[in-house]
Amino acid sequence: MTEDLLAPINDFLHCETPARWVDVALVNQEIMLIDHANCEKKAAASAMSLMTRYLDRTELLFCAARLAREELHHFEQVVDIMQKRGINYEVLTPSRYANGLLKHSRHHDELNLLVDRLIIGAYIEARSCERFAKIAPHLDETLSRFYTSLLRSEARHFQDYLSLAQQYAGVDISERVEELGRVEAELILSPDQQFRFHSGVPV
């Protein structure tokens, strides 16, 4: 079942998470959990931002509302795990990943901006899903079970974002998806000065 969920994800992404990221994550699990909580919170905020900006797109409203609810539930789950492990929820500087993607958005018209935001959302959800699957086998039973449980929803979020991008564009978006996919892969494979859930290769 996991393989079936991950096949579209792996086909979509242009690279897999480097082993170095997994190695560093395993010795920085507190930072990983704190940043994971931040990521879930930001994903919910991003979905709510779409709901606020695009009131005339009913399908997007319903999809984003469901996504926001699920991401906030995941946020609560991560914070609960942190509390049980005595991990304080501290302020962390964000990774360069999301902004590194968003700066490539086409801002010259509203439709292209929306399509790009949805494609970028698909890449962020797909990468999250891929990283959950990468690290889950190496974690303790509780965390492994938790991260494995997130795979289905993250895979669905990726598909939802991509489907909406194609629907609203009204034209073939495969070339644009490829362009942003190359940007995403460069962020994942390039050296990174800090470790975060979506960081590149930690140095």
Q: Which long-range contacts (CB under 8 A, 24 or more apart) does 107-114 make?
A: 111/168, 111/169, 114/54, 114/168
Instruction: Supply the pLDDT for residue 47.
Output: 96
Q: Tens digits of per-residue pLDDT, 97-125?
A: 999 999 999 988 999 999 999 999 999 99
The answer to whether residues 125 and 152 touch, using CB atoms and an 8 Å cutoff, is: no
Cβ neighbours for 193, distance < 8 A, ≥ 6 positions apart: 203
Q: Which residues of the chain are under the pLDDT cut of 50?
A: none
What b/e readout covers 49-65, taking b as 16+ CB neighbours within 10 angstroms? ebbeebeebeebeebbe
H or E segment at 140? Answer: none
Tell me the backbone φ, ψ of residue 150, rounded to 5 degrees. Answer: -85, -15
pTM for this structure?
Answer: 0.96
| Cα separations in angstroms, 201 against 9, 31, 51, 86, 125 | 20, 15, 34, 28, 19
**For residue 107, what pLDDT is reported?**
85
**Torsion 201-125-137-14 (CA) sign:** negative
The predicted pLDDT at position 1 comes to: 54
Q: What is the pLDDT, as a whole number, of residue 10?
A: 94
Q: How far apart are CA 111 and CA 165, in angstroms?
A: 10
